[in-house]
Amino acid sequence: MDTVIDRFNKIKSYIINQNNSEKTNIIAVSKTFDLAYIKPLADSGHLHFGENKVQEAEKKWKSFVANNKEIKLHMVGKLQSNKAKKAVELFHYVHSLDNEKLAETLSKAEDSLKKNLNYFIQVNVGMENQKSGISPDQTKEFYDYCTNEMKLKVIGLMAIPPNDGEEEKHFKFLNESNISLGLKDLSIGMSGDYKKALNFNATFLRIGTAIFGKRS
């Protein structure tokens, strides 16, 4: 039976074979799994881990990261403004920057804590009501607001494309938008579509199920 490390290494080998190993980071999305189950992957030298809830991440990771400072935590879920300060305390990356109120709250938290995070702007590429993210035509305006007015370090765009069989179209659009803004990092690709995302300059893959298995 495959272990977490076996599954991770299989994905890593695929990326290496696609000649993307130097620029592509795997975020092991460990939401809902206990640290004891995740820890062997961290102990093997993997550094990037993702969570989608601030409270769960704090309980799971705060002590471990304090003693393993090379670990990088990614907030990959919807972030509420009232959790922004706690997120700045705990995380190194936020992949779900999607509204002005959140940007303002994060900026104030950074000033208060004297800490700067890396941010991805989440774009709702499919204009789906059930998903977060700014509309594609507001990307440039929101990027300017976040960087020029709020002084946030936006390093790229992020999206969760619709399950419509046209992931490559959405990845292409996001990659082109990223390039037009002069950004170098791109957060696209999850367990079911990361192989396609590699063809569109993905630098951060958010992979959970393919590494840790199905969630109960």
Instruction: Give pLDDT tens digits for 25-65.
Output: 999 999 999 999 999 999 999 999 999 999 999 999 999 99
Query: Which pTM was predicted?
Result: 0.95
Q: How many CB atoms lie within 10 A of CB 178?
A: 26
Q: Are 174 and 157 in contact (CB under 8 A)?
A: yes
> Could you tell me the end-to-end alpha-carbon distance of the chain, in angstroms, rounded to an integer?
18
Q: How many domains, in total, are found in the chain? A: 1
Structure tokens at 68: 């393993």
Q: Identify the bridge partners of residue 133 per DSSP, sorted by sequence position.
A: none
Kindly tell me the number of DSSP H helices and DSSP E strands found in the chain: 9, 8
Q: Which tens digit of pLDDT belongs to each residue from 91-147?
A: 999 999 999 999 999 999 999 999 999 999 999 987 777 888 999 999 999 999 999
Q: What is the CATH number of the domain that holds 161?
A: 3.20.20.10
Instruction: List the alpha helices (DSSP H) in the chain.
Output: 4-17, 35-43, 54-67, 84-90, 100-113, 139-144, 167-180, 194-197, 209-212
Domain encompassing residue 140: 4-212
